[in-house]
Amino acid sequence: MDNAKYMDLIGRYLSGGLEPAEKEQLMAWVEQNSANRKLFDELIQVWSISGRYEDEPFQADVESAWLSLENKMDQQAAETTTRPAGARVLPLWQPRKLLRYAAAIALLLAAGYWALNRSGSGSEVQMVEIGAGAGEQRELALPDGSRVILNENTRLAYAEPFEERRVLLWGEAFFEVEKMNGKPFAIEAEGATTTVLGTSFNVRAYPGEGEVKVSVRTGKVALEQSGNAASKVLLEPGESAVFIKAREMVEEVAISNADAWKNRQLDFNSVRLEEVVEAVERFYGINVEVVNPQLLNCRFNGLFAGPESLGEVWAAMDYTMGLQIEKKNNVYYISGDASRCQ
């Protein structure tokens, strides 16, 4: 079976028209290798944004439709529109990346949807993309009044009109979501869906990392594997959870100082050394190894605002816990006597 047929299977899977035997065949293909799994997950995210703009099913000449789409996207990209500072108006897919995105277009056609031009309705769907580069943070307001702060090397995209209150995220961001008459707000990121009504929380979902991490500041947040409601975990203020990509599962975990990148401080109040190490690694972009595993349950107190240098953090840990920190080959090794902090 060729790739075009698999796109047809995925399209009918998303629109609910797949037979059990076909679903089994599709899932076998998805699990065949990481490339298939990645494409499948990406198309699910495409569907989450564009699959909600429904037209009547139709038979399409895919090649002609694709050529027409390219022309349409080039025209849209050239238009000047007022958007948030730093935002780029993009068609749903960039036309130069044909090999990757032709599959997504074929998917939408096969499922009987056409998100980019709702025929007869007179309205068009565009994607707005905002990014923050290396060493940069960017704050923006979404059309519903929600506020987002992007960490470095992060991209966020959403469809206009912003009727679905749904965004795509690649990287890390802190959200302050406005309540809107019970209408949910959702973030799609690396195979995980985070859903809220009105709250503040941090989402870390860099493509190169094995987990999607969500930490709640205020309100309630639901985290689940995209398309798998049974995996949902509900989080309250102070709680955190991760979606483990390789295992396709969600579990509650403790994450210390998840939004330290935004507040520019590390605050540890009787926090386990294991969590301290993870927070320091994220904040300073370093690798740390704890030589004595028994140290991981030791607890540490300290407030580092400004922030202080990494050396000052190590000095405080040495002074209060009697730890030794040594750097070898760009890795910091922590050792010490665990009995001193029991």
pLDDT digits (tens, 9 = 90+) for 126-145: 778 899 998 899 999 999 99
- Least Cα distance to 203 among 230, 180, 173, 248 occurs for 173
More confident residue, 264 or 105: 264
pLDDT digits (tens, 9 = 90+) for 200-239: 999 999 988 899 999 999 999 999 998 888 999 999 999 9
Tokens for 139, please give them.
């704050």
Query: Domain limits of the chain?
Result: 3-253, 260-341
Neighbouring C-beta atoms of residue 40, cutoff 10 Å: 18
Neighbouring C-beta atoms of residue 293, cutoff 10 Å: 9
Class of domain 3-253: mainly beta
* Amino acid 307: pLDDT: 63
* Amino acid 116: pLDDT: 34
- The yes or no reply on domain 260-341 and CATH 3.55.50.30 is yes
pLDDT digits (tens, 9 = 90+) for 39-60: 777 676 655 554 443 333 333 3
Question: Would you say residue 71 has pLDDT above 50?
Answer: yes
> Cβ distance 220 to 234 under 8 Å?
yes
State how far the Cα of 234 lies from the Cα of 241, in Å rounded to an integer. Answer: 9
Question: Would you say residue 104 has pLDDT above 60?
Answer: no
State how far the Cα of 280 lies from the Cα of 201, in Å rounded to an integer. Answer: 20
Alpha-carbon dihedral angle through residues 111, 5, 39, 113, given to the nearest 10 degrees: -10
> Cβ distance 249 to 229 under 8 Å?
no
In the three-class reduction of DSSP (H, G, I as helix; E, B as strand; rest coil), residue 313 is classed as: helix
Neighbouring C-beta atoms of residue 23, cutoff 10 Å: 13
* Amino acid 75: pLDDT: 52
Question: Would you say residue 80 has pLDDT above 80?
Answer: no
Tokens for 149, please give them.
């702060």
Q: What is the average per-residue pLDDT within 295-314?
A: 86
State how far the Cα of 226 lies from the Cα of 25, in Å rounded to an integer. Answer: 20
